[in-house]
Amino acid sequence: MHEMVKDIPASPRIAAQTSESHERVAGNLASGVIVLCDHASNRIPPEYENLGLPPGELARHIAWDIGAEGIARALARRLDAPAIISRFSRLLIDPNRGEDDPTLVMRISDGAVIPGNAHVDSAEIARRKARFHKPYDDAISATIARFRAGGIHPALVSIHSFTPVWRGLKRPWHAAILYDPRDADFSRHVLDALAVDENLVIGGNEPYKGGLSGDTMDRQGFAKGLRHVLVEVRQDLIFHDQGQEDWARRIGQAIRAALDATGGIGPGSRRKTP
């Protein structure tokens, strides 16, 4: 178990907070961890009229990461860590993209045309940035600042999920760790800890690549010198509560092992500059 920081109170808490763009789950600074869930919700405010999509499309992975929110909440409970959880669909605007990314507002996603995004202009994108993207990102920054004020450099753990089949091909991985090749130490410790279970197939930078310029881990983790990891879990394993709890347990154990291996949560735990 990682050691407690000795120069802060035993149980300094970060309070819960809810806004239109996000929910912050309360947690303990001494956890040394902030849990993130960029694609937790398929919620679209009524005035957007579901972006012209039928309800069945909003239930698909194009609108959110199925099962990811449940893992993030369960993981935060296990670690007694604060969590920042989005409350809007990635189809409105993707919080895991940089503000200049061409896929920030998707017009087509996995074969589905998004009518409400087809003719979106720069003014509407700016409104969505101000209403959804920026407040979510600011909540992460504010929570990091609270940790640093207590002398702790937190590790960021971002929870995502992926479809079991993509373009007709079955995906063999149970879970995957996505990492930036410039800064992979913490992520590789998490991967190694998960891969101890020989019954699991754990991907490294597959089925997706990590290190996307401007994404949440880049701007909040790498750019700020924090240890960070993005965990993807296959959706057919986590569509129910028990699967989410099981994976929260596995990920929690792996995070604790990675914290111990990279300096715990004290002043010496800042990510080493490559």
Please give the tally of structural domains in the chain: 1
Q: pLDDT value at position 273?
A: 46
Amino acid 272: pLDDT: 54
Q: Mean pLDDT over residues 131-159, rounded?
A: 97
Q: What is the DSSP secondary-structure string of the chain?
A: -PPPPTTS-SS-EEPPEE-SSEEEE-EEGGG-EEEEETT------GGGGGGG--HHHHTSTTTS-TTHHHHHHHHHHHHT--EEEE-S-TTT--TTS-TT-TTSS-SEETTEE-GGGTT--HHHHHHHIIIIIHHHHHHHHHHHHHHHHTT--PEEEEEEEE-SEETTEE---SEEEE--TTS-HHHHHHHHHHTTSTT--EEES-SS-S--TTSHIIIIIITTT--EEEEEEEGGGSSSHHHHHHHHHHHHHHHHHHHHHTTTTSGGGSPPP-
Q: Is residue 5 part of a domain?
A: no
Confidence of residue 166 (pLDDT cuts 50, 70, 90): confident
Q: Is residue 33 part of a domain?
A: yes
Given this model, what pLDDT does residue 115 score?
Answer: 96
CATH number, position 155: 3.40.630.40
Whether the per-residue pLDDT at 8 is higher than 70: the answer is no
pLDDT at position 167 is 80
Q: Which residue has the higher pLDDT, 12 or 221?
A: 221
pLDDT at 52 over 80: yes
Confidence of residue 2 (pLDDT cuts 50, 70, 90): very low
**Is residue 262 included in any domain, yes or no?**
yes
For 39, list phi and psi in degrees, rounded to 5.
-120, 45
| Average pLDDT of the segment spanning 84-109 | 96
Looking at residue 32, its pLDDT comes to: 97
Integer CA distances (angstroms), 52 to 38, 128, 131, in order: 23, 17, 20
pLDDT at 274 over 50: no
pLDDT reading at 243 higher than 50: yes
Please say whether the beta carbons of 86 and 51 come within 8 A. Answer: no
The answer to whether residue 1 sits within a structural domain is no
Is 198 domain-assigned?
Answer: yes
Q: How confident is the model at residue 270 (pLDDT cuts 50, 70, 90)?
A: low
Q: How far apart are CA 54 and CA 56, in angstroms?
A: 5
Please check whether residue 3 lies inside any domain of the structure.
no
What mean pLDDT is predicted for residues 159-188?
Answer: 94
Q: What pLDDT was estimated at residue 3?
A: 42
Average pLDDT, the chain: 92
Domain containing residue 258: 13-269
Q: How many residues does the chain have?
A: 274
Q: What are phi and psi of 190, to 5 degrees?
A: -65, -45
Say yes or no to pLDDT of 188 above 70.
Answer: yes
pTM of the entire predicted model? 0.93
Q: What is the pLDDT of residue 271?
A: 58
Residue 110 has pLDDT above 90, yes or no: no
